[in-house]
Chains A and B, each alone.
Chain A
């Protein structure tokens, strides 16, 4: 199947700094990628839909100025957590679908810890 690579898998940062997470589709082009946040023992919460060449679409309640999404090419989307705070600590996962008839393929996830 298709492969989505997410990097880094773990990151620890200090409060007030910014962290960038990359999501790459390795063997297909993805005009749309999705970013999720997952709290311990909970489901995936869709944060935003990343659209290549245009602005991301954010879900209600997600601060777009805090969670910056850039989808600069058909194989790369990045999520930047700006001015991180301890409450931003979470597991972030990206996904992409090669086309509508296929399933979503997920990155390995990024465990963010803000200290």
Chain B
């Protein structure tokens, strides 16, 4: 079984500041890891994913995340926040060998002008 913990249900940063959203996972088999973004009343859009290979993955809108197996973490970062980054962010984990995908509780990012 796998699970995801997102530390901090709400993160607030100033425009131009570093964004750091934390995600720790638990999985009994090698995991695939994902970050999704959700805007109000919409579905989820993929930001980036880790399956195999390079542990530092780059996604859309300037986001990136690093898979750290020793820390069971997959934190999401962006060097400089933009107002348009304000949204809900979900980390998700899936075993490499089946379709089951589990989501964290989500982190609401607020960007202050």
With an 8 A cutoff between CB atoms, is A74 at the interface?
no
Listed in ascending order, the chain A residues whose CB lies under 8 Å from chain B are 1, 4, 6, 32, 34, 41-44, 46, 49, 91, 93, 95, 97, 100-101, 103-109, 111
Bound CA span A12–B106, Å: 27
Residue of B nearest to A96 (CB): B99
CB A54 to nearest CB in B, in angstroms, measures 14
Bound CA span A34–B45, Å: 16
Listed in ascending order, the chain B residues whose CB lies under 8 Å from chain A are 32, 34, 36, 41-46, 49, 51, 90, 92, 94, 96-106, 108
Docked-complex contact A106 and B102, CB < 8 angstroms: no
Docked-complex contact B44 and A93, CB < 8 angstroms: yes
Docked-complex contact A6 and B43, CB < 8 angstroms: yes
Out of B32, B44, B96, B100, which one reaches A106, CB within 8 Å? Answer: B44
Residues of chain B lying within 8 A (CB to CB) of residue A34? 99, 101
Docked-complex contact B104 and A106, CB < 8 angstroms: no
CB B56 to nearest CB in A, in angstroms, measures 18
Docked-complex contact B105 and A41, CB < 8 angstroms: no
